[in-house]
């Protein structure tokens, strides 16, 4: 029901525009300081595939992200990194061959799921709840207190990373206590529809950001501080020329 999912996502954004605002915007995964995120108490990473870790529909890491991916795995360990894609691991992935290849090549599990992002919260929470390492030692004191009071396990504090606002960042807004990171670098353009969707997402985010700034000013509040900048690694990365697609060659 892709159309219905698009409608519900659009309604979600209209009724609560703040869901499109990422906690942090970076150029690419190479600019994320994973060790600092772990030290800040985040317990796991939910990360997109296409145009975040790999070129679209490919199962190999973008070469210039090799060090960043190693840093991520070192900081969180392979079990606490979950690749959640709207292609690999879904019904679009025949026999889950893409998911298998991705797990083999990147050394991290791929979530097998039916509902697309951002409507995949239950499956993600189910995955992290099953990790023994998250059940006690790694849970922050604050979370432990909340869990004791409510007699329910506190949700894990996750870092949600992706290149799409309407899927990855909205997903982050639905995972309580998570920190969402929007990676702006597009390693290779996808279809015309995705290109249009990106333009729309950029426009909505810019409008919502301006509206939030105006509202804070009107209320006499200071502008939102950019606390997330502490998780940015400003190391320059080696550029890789974007691959030319038939579509790019027509419009450029
Ligand atoms: Mg993507």
What tens digit of pLDDT does each residue of 177-205 get? 999 999 999 999 888 999 999 999 999 99
- For 190, list phi and psi in degrees, rounded to 5: -100, -140
Percent of the chain exceeding pLDDT 90 equals: 65
DSSP 137-186: TTS-HHHHHHHHHHTSPPPP-EEEEES-IIIIIHHHHHSTT-EEEEE---
Where do the domains of the chain lie, and which CATH numbers do they carry?
2-134+152-251 (3.40.50.1000)
Furthest CA-CA distance within the chain = 60
Ligand 1: centre distance to CA 49 (Å): 6
**What's the rounded mean pLDDT across residues 76-93?**
94
Ligand 1: centre distance to CA 153 (Å): 30
Q: For residue 10, what pLDDT is reported? A: 84
Q: For residue 44, what pLDDT is reported? A: 97
Ligand 1: centre distance to CA 233 (Å): 21
What tens digit of pLDDT does each residue of 228-246 get? 889 998 766 555 555 555 5
Q: For residue 12, what pLDDT is reported? A: 85
pTM summary value:
0.84
- Indicate whether 141 pLDDT > 90: no
Structure tokens, 90 = 């879904």
- What's the rounded Cα separation, in Å, for the pair 2 and 28? 28
**Sheet of 44-47, strands arranged across:** 24-26, 179-183, 158-162, 44-47, 81-83
More confident residue, 242 or 252: 242
CB 243 within 8 A of CB 49: no
Ligand 1: centre distance to CA 55 (Å): 9
More confident residue, 1 or 64: 64
Across the chain, the runs of DSSP E, i.e. the strands, are 24-26, 44-47, 81-83, 158-162, 179-183
Q: For residue 236, what pLDDT is reported? A: 60
CB 69 within 8 A of CB 53: yes
Ligand 1: centre distance to CA 210 (Å): 25
Q: For residue 229, what pLDDT is reported? A: 86
Percent of the chain exceeding pLDDT 70 equals: 83
Task: Please report where in the chains the tokens 């550029």 appear, as a residue.
Answer: 239
What tens digit of pLDDT does each residue of 59-70 get? 999 999 999 999
- What's the rounded Cα separation, in Å, for the pair 67 and 53? 12
- What's the rounded Cα separation, in Å, for the pair 78 and 137? 17
């Amino acid at each position: 029901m892709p159309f219905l999912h698009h409608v519900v996502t659009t309604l979600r954004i209209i009724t609560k525009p703040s869901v499109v605002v990422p906690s942090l915007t970076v150029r690419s995964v190479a600019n994320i300081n994973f060790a600092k995120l772990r030290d800040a108490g985040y317990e796991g990473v939910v990360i997109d595939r296409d145009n975040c870790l790999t070129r679209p529909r490919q199962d190999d890491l973008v070469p210039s992200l090799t060090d960043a991916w190693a840093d991520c795995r070192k900081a969180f360990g392979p079990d606490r990194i979950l690749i959640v894609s709207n292609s690999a691991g879904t019904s679009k992935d025949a026999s889950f061959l893409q998911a298998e290849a991705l797990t083999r090549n990147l050394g991290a599990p791929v979530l097998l799921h039916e509902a697309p992002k951002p409507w995949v919260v239950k499956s993600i929470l189910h995955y992290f709840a099953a990790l023994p390492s998250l059940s006690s030692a790694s849970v922050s004191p604050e979370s432990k207190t909340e869990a004791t009071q409510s007699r329910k396990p506190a949700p894990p504090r996750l870092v949600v990373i992706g290149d799409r606002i309407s899927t990855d960042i909205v997903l982050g807004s639905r995972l309580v206590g998570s920190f969402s990171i929007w990676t702006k670098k597009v390693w290779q353009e996808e279809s015309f529809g995705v290109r249009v969707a990106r333009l729309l997402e950029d426009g909505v985010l810019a409008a919502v950001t301006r509206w939030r700034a105006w509202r804070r000013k009107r209320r006499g509040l200071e502008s939102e501080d950019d606390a997330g900048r502490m998780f940015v690694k400003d190391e320059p990365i080696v550029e890789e020329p974007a691959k030319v697609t038939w579509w790019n060659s027509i419009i450029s």
